[in-house]
Amino acid sequence: MLEKHRQQLIKEIVDQQSFASVKVLTDKLSSSEATIRRDLTKMAKRGEIVKIRGGAQSNSNKRKNIQSSAFNVDKTKRTDTKKLIAKRAVELCAENDSIIINGGSSTYMMGEYLTDKNLNILTNSFVLANYLSENSNNLVSLPGGEIYREQGIILSSYEKDNTEHYRSSMMFMGTPGIGKFGVMESDPLLILSEQKLKKQTDKLIVLADSTKLGKRSNFVFCPLEEVDVLITDSKADKELIDYFKDQDIEVIIVDSLDD
């Protein structure tokens, strides 16, 4: 990863979380502690962050109080495998279908494979909506709400945000974790928005690469009994896959292209 790109991602993580430790940054960006510490020193000198013992804190007053990973960070992880998962998800769509696509890095990658489709798409991802409006003939709708730039989504805390007028055959969503406990989410506001979307669809399809299987997060979005299809990759734990199938979930497995 180029230094400029890595430092941009550091800035987004720190602004989003208010504080980030060196360990968190090394884990998220797959970089060494020495590299991250050098980046923090350079960024602090430029006034982009405040360097403190063990990490850095934000000097921005524009942070959104939502607990979720930054979109630009997530989309750099396991990219090739996520693209295969996204491609397989799009293959489930028939011409002129009405679908819902929840915001996230995995679902964003569906955009590349939707360019030659003619679908009615409701999405709370403004980055996906922008991509599809420029590169496809799909009819794209957005809900009302506030823009959360770091996550690339639109969220509303109000009951009526125009999604109540939409009906779809399938809803596609990513997740920070899925296991015997259900489908996880990281923030109550995200759950509120996603559950409103879920009310408007017939089938729930979860896109989760193998690193998300068995992983826990802060909140449960829904139990496994509400999941219809799970799309994951070939590095997935076999016992968990068998468990999901026992819960009447259709599991679709693509090849893993990551080491």
- Tell me the per-residue pLDDT of 128-169, one tens digit each, with 9 for 90 and over: 999 999 999 999 999 998 888 778 889 886 778 889 889 999
CB atoms within 10 A of CB 251: 17
Domain-terminating residue out of 36, 63, 90: 63
60: helix, strand or coil: coil
Average pLDDT over residues 105-127: 95
Q: What is the mean pLDDT of the chain?
A: 89
> Are 109 and 18 part of one and the same domain?
no
Strands 146-148 and 139-141: unpaired
pTM confidence score: 0.74
The answer to whether residue 131 sits within a structural domain is yes
Tell me the CATH number at 52. 1.10.10
The answer to whether residue 56 sits within a structural domain is yes
> Are 218 and 129 part of one and the same domain?
yes
Range of the domain at 155: 73-254
Q: Is the pLDDT of residue 192 over 50?
A: yes
| Bridge partners, 205 (sequence order) | 172, 229
The answer to whether residue 134 sits within a structural domain is yes
- Max mean pLDDT among 64-73, 107-116, 180-189, 191-200 falls in 107-116
The answer to whether residue 57 sits within a structural domain is yes
CA distances 143 to 121, 159, 172, 193, 228, Å, are 11, 11, 16, 10, 24
Percentage above 70 pLDDT, the chain: 90
> Are 176 and 237 part of one and the same domain?
yes
CB 86 within 8 A of CB 109: yes
Listed range (18-22, 38-42, 86-90, 112-116) with the worst mean pLDDT: 18-22
> Are 59 and 110 part of one and the same domain?
no
One-letter amino acid at 178 equals I
Predicted local distance difference test score (pLDDT) of residue 63: 45
CB atoms within 10 A of CB 214: 16
Average pLDDT over residues 240-258: 94
* Residue 176 in tokens: 């920070």
Return the higher-pLDDT residue of 245 and 191.
245
The answer to whether residue 259 sits within a structural domain is no
Distance between CA atoms of residues 222 and 182, nearest Å: 6
> Are 46 and 77 part of one and the same domain?
no
Domain-terminating residue out of 35, 63, 91: 63
Number of domains in the chain: 2
State the DSSP H helix or E strand holding residue 195, giving kind and residue range, or none if neither: helix 188-198
Tell me the CATH number at 188. 3.40.50.1360
Listed range (5-9, 122-126, 138-142) with the worst mean pLDDT: 5-9
* Residue 111 in tokens: 């955009």
Predicted local distance difference test score (pLDDT) of residue 66: 56
> Are 96 and 169 part of one and the same domain?
yes
Q: Is the pLDDT of residue 119 over 50?
A: yes
The answer to whether residue 68 sits within a structural domain is no
Domain-terminating residue out of 63, 82, 113: 63
What are the strands of the beta sheet with 250-254, ordered from one edge? Answer: 139-141, 120-123, 98-101, 168-174, 201-207, 229-233, 250-254
> Are 162 and 95 part of one and the same domain?
yes
Residues 6+ apart with CB under 8 A from 238: none
CA distance between the termini of the chain: 17
> Are 106 and 25 part of one and the same domain?
no
pLDDT in tens, 41-99: 999 999 999 998 889 988 876 545 555 555 555 555 678 999 999 999 999 999 999 99
Q: Is the pLDDT of residue 106 over 50?
A: yes
Distance between CA atoms of residues 204 and 177, nearest Å: 15
> Are 82 and 44 part of one and the same domain?
no
The answer to whether residue 112 sits within a structural domain is yes
